Amino acid sequence: MIRLPLMGLVFACAVSMTSCGTKSRQASGNSDTAAVAVSVADTATAVIPVYAKGYAVKHLPGNVRLVDIHDPQKEEGNTFRYALVPRGTKPAGIPADYTVIETPVKHVICMTSLQLSNFIRLDACDYVVGITSTRHLFNKEMNGRLKAGKTSKIGIEGNFDNEVIMSINPDVIFISPFKRGGYDAMCETGIPLVPHLGYKEMTPLGQAEWIKFIGMFIGREAEANARFAGIEKRYNELKELAAGVKKRPVVFSGEMRGGNWYAVGGKSFLAELFRDAGADYFLKGDPRSGGVTLDFETVYSRAESATIGALSTVTTEHSLTMP
């Protein structure tokens, strides 16, 4: 399902991170490149993540960006490296451990709702030529593109249709490699697979800031920066309004699937979202930042005193195929 920012502030969440057709090495901070970062004259197009911990950008001469992608929660040690270069150019000095991608890209495939929500927020649905499913897709423009044959369904995780993928020939496939998988077969297409790890961010603004990440790939950096600035401003305004609340309601959230209750831990972006909104999350004392599986009895005992029940799938990022 396409989940746009809760309370107009945050985007729907996401998952995964394994990439083939990309180059990765154990996270070790900065790359061992001899290239020197340069100051970017046009600050409107400079992508400098402030809240997001899952990607870092180094700006080089010639409008080259070295992008390092890593797990914001530090559960995985790999860093995935990409060099975004202007289309039609071959800049010298690109480190050997970076996968080169010409930008702006023209066509992409999205695997999850968070990825797609970034394109929707940027009014850039025309870039999306492939998605996994329509089961949780309610955006009118995207449904119209599917009906008109401008966007194709490529199968589900674990059973992707490489023939369809190659026929639509995207420049990039944004993936969530910690999910069900099936990406090994997709490597055979030779199309760069780029992890989008916004779902693993532990703050609402960190998750929302991945719109800048997408902006770099499609040449919409200035617009992405402006969109995020608006989200940041509004979020902080509402946070300030709620700061003085004297009675904080207890909120429980999640969803029941297969007899178990799925939620996220007390160090997650959702727990912080509730806290900033003037509420207490029912798992606020849980030390985990990712998903938490609870049996019904445990949920009932913890949520019995809750003031509000937010029965929402906003707790985890959905692939477009998840129930």
Reported as a single tens digit per residue, the pLDDT across 272-292 is: 999 999 999 999 999 988 888
Q: Per-residue pLDDT tens for 206-265? A: 999 999 999 999 999 999 999 999 999 999 999 999 998 989 998 888 888 888 889 999
Side by side, which strands form the sheet with 250-253? 280-281, 250-253, 308-310
pLDDT-derived band at 307 (thresholds 50, 70, 90) equals confident
> What residues form DSSP beta bridges with 85?
102
Does residue 312 register a pLDDT over 80? no
Which pLDDT score, from 0 to 100, does residue 97 have? 97
Arithmetic mean of pLDDT, 129-155: 92
Does residue 14 register a pLDDT over 60? no
CA distance 252 to 309: 5
Beta strand pairing call for 193-195 and 172-175: parallel
Which pLDDT score, from 0 to 100, does residue 49 have? 97
Burial (CB count <10 Å: 0-12, 13-18, 19+), residue 104: middle
Q: Per-residue pLDDT tens for 45-92? A: 999 999 999 999 999 999 999 999 999 988 888 899 999 999 999 999
CA distance 19 to 187: 9
- CB within 8 A of 316, min separation 6: which ones? 13, 15, 199, 262, 264, 291
Which pLDDT score, from 0 to 100, does residue 34 have? 35
Cα-trace Rg, the chain:
20
Q: How high does pLDDT run on average in the chain? A: 83
Which pLDDT score, from 0 to 100, does residue 254 have? 87
Which pLDDT score, from 0 to 100, does residue 197 have? 93
- DSSP run (H or E) holding 194: strand 193-195
CA distance 186 to 165: 9
With residues binned 3-state (H G I as helix, E B as strand, rest as coil), the percentages for the chain, rounded to 5, are 30, 25, 50
pLDDT-derived band at 315 (thresholds 50, 70, 90) equals very low
CA distance 114 to 136: 12
Q: What is the pTM of this model?
A: 0.83
